[in-house]
Amino acid sequence: MKKPLALTLLLAGLPVILLIPGVVKLVGGAGVYRPIMLWGLPVSAALVAAALTTGRRRGFLFGGSPATLLRLAPWCVTALVVDYSFLGIGHLLGFITFTYGDQGLSGHPFRAMAWGLPLCLGLGVFGWEWTLRRTLYVSWIGHVARPAALLISCAVGVALMAPSITPGLEIPDGSYVAASFLVVACRELSFGLIFASGAGLPAAGLYRGLIIYMEAFLIADWYSVFFPMANFTTSEPAFYLVRGATAILAAGVIVTGLRWNARRQATAGAPARAGASPAAPAPS
């Protein structure tokens, strides 16, 4: 119990320094703060996790079932589309305006994708999900029930994402902050459920990596700490209700996909169990 608790407290406390008022200026401005959030924080969390887990529990990769990963892939893609459907809805309702972002990225989108997408996918697998699920979640399984272990890993994930929403505890807009924390919570739950379902680290990590790439390289809220190829801005608080709703629906898609996969596995396993069971004695 001591090591999982220490790991939890250290990981949850890791982003505190990035929440100190004025920290963005202290580190050299937003241009320095962004890569710290994108690359530095997850790598630091992974190093902490590696230092506090034993070799037996640490592992390198929990591959899970390749068949489960392939069956869940369409559900993850659908969830991603549903998650970002707020862009289309907001545009149709006249809630948002799109603006140009980083000209260095938008000027060479394929070049940015060539190096950014692989790095984000690797970060999702070996940075975030290896830390939160393969080490933290697995470390707690031997001490608490699996749902509680999953909740702990998701809560720490939300804590680690807090500096990207409120850097230096700055509240740019109350509606944005509330919606952003809801979005992060729904996504953490989705990542955790995917891992716990048996799909393994690659499934959860690749899904997370795609979302990291979307926000850090493609499009993000103007209030976001990231500055990708494009931004969107709004003056309508109702837009963030739409944002929260699509995040909840996306998590619902993942849950539905996991239930479908569980039923499929149960159905596929039934004939095998029936064939393995001893034959009933013939009536005399």
What's this model's pTM, rounded to 2 decimal places?
0.89
Distance CA 50, CA 126 (A): 11
Residue type present at position 275:
G
| Alpha carbon distance 83, 245 (integer Å) | 9
DSSP label of 96: E
Assign 10 a pLDDT band (cuts: 50, 70, 90). very high
Cα–Cα distance for residue pair 175/186, rounded to 1 Å: 17
Binned at pLDDT 50, 70 and 90, residue 109 comes out as confident
For 196-228, the pLDDT digits (tens) are 988 888 899 999 999 999 999 999 999 999 999
Confidence of residue 40 (pLDDT cuts 50, 70, 90): very high
Query: Please, which residues have CB within 8 angstroms of residue 167's CB and are 6 or more apart in sequence?
Result: 18, 19, 23, 24, 33, 37, 225
Res 22 pLDDT > 50: yes
- What is the distance between the alpha carbons of residues 189 and 196, in angstroms, rounded to a whole number? 10
pLDDT category, 27, cuts 50, 70, 90? very high
pLDDT exceeds 60 at position 55: no
CA angle 40, 59, 122 (to 5 degrees): 40
Give the Cα separation of 2 and 266 in Å (integer).
37
How many CA within 13 A on the CB side of residue 52?
25
Q: What is the pLDDT of residue 270?
A: 58
- 22 burial level (CB within 10 Å; 0-12, 13-18, 19+): exposed
pLDDT tens readout for residues 258-278: 999 989 888 876 555 555 555
Mean pLDDT of 164-171: 94
Q: Strand order of the sheet with strand 230-234? A: 96-100, 230-234, 219-221
